[in-house]
């Protein structure tokens, strides 16, 4: 049974989300603040987390950044009433995998959680080394020596795909199909956005490889000679 962490300070909303997820078969842990969320993550193995953005003391963006800075690729869904584009960008920049606007249909929440859990459980149980970076699909962790590289689950999946086919071009549709699981109802430019996220995180490091844009084609990972 997949374990889901719900972080929500509103008792009514927290109860509804938790009970609903339990009804469809998940083992749910509910906490009401960021500190308790980070403690729970450190002490348990969750398949995904649904985190409210507007929390007291430590908001959802900050929780997500803490998770990623620990090198943890736990799939994260942010829940918020803030629907401005800049808020969604801030959420993705903080390392979230998905973003759901309140009020939402419960069926949509469960579908998104299901997709995150499926992606997490379907990760290949092996490691891959490219340049100076080691990718561990079992833990969804990227490391360079003793240094953890803070990638979200989607960022990890994107880097894994490109690394697994190093030197072989990947079109945006190829990436959407493998990383997002579909080419339908997804804006293809999301691929470009996530490529930027991965590049930004790898740029300060001597990784020994480059993600190259192939205009009109897609992307290819090339290992430095």
Q: 120, 89, 100, 105: which is closest to 194 by C-alpha?
A: 89
Could you give phi then psi for residue 212, rounded to 5 degrees?
-100, 135
Mean pLDDT across the chain:
89
State pTM to two decimals: 0.58
* pLDDT tens figures, 49-106: 999 999 988 999 999 998 888 778 889 999 988 777 777 778 778 888 898 988 889 9
Which positions ≥6 away from 129 have C-beta within 8 Å?
Answer: 135
Q: What is the DSSP letter of 180?
A: I
Domains of the chain: 3-121 (3.40.50.2300), 127-223 (1.10.10.10)
> How many whole angstroms separate alpha carbon 96 and alpha carbon 50?
10
* pLDDT tens figures, 167-199: 889 999 999 988 887 766 678 889 999 999 999
Q: The tokens 């509910």 sit on which residue?
A: 30
* pLDDT tens figures, 17-41: 999 999 989 999 999 999 999 999 9
Please check the confidence at residue 107 and state whether its pLDDT lies above 80. Answer: yes
Please check the confidence at residue 122 and state whether its pLDDT lies above 70. Answer: no
> How many whole angstroms separate alpha carbon 32 and alpha carbon 5?
11
């Amino acid at each position: 049974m997949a374990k889901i962490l719900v972080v929500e300070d509103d008792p009514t909303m927290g109860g509804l989300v938790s009970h609903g997820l339990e009804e469809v078969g998940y083992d749910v842990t509910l906490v009401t603040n960021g500190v308790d969320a980070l403690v729970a993550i450190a002490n348990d193995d969750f398949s995904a987390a649904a985190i409210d953005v507007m929390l007291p003391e430590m908001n959802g963006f900050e929780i997500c950044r803490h998770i990623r800075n620990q090198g943890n690729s736990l799939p994260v869904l942010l829940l918020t009433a803030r629907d401005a584009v800049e808020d969604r960008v801030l959420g993705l920049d903080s390392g979230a995998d998905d973003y759901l606007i309140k009020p939402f249909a419960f069926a949509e929440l469960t579908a998104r959680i299901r997709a995150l859990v499926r992606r997490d459980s379907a990760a290949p149980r092996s490691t891959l080394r490219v340049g100076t970076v080691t990718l561990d699909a079992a833990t969804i962790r990227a490391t360079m020596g003793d240094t953890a590289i803070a990638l979200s689950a989607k960022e990890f999946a994107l880097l894994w795909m490109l690394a697994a086919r190093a030197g072989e071009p990947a079109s945006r549709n190829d990436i959407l199909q493998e990383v997002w699981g579909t080419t339908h109802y997804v804006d293809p430019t999301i691929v470009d956005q996530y490529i930027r996220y991965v590049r930004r995180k790898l740029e300060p490091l001597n990784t020994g490889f480059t993600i190259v844009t192939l205009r009109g084609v897609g992307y290819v990972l090339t290992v430095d000679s």
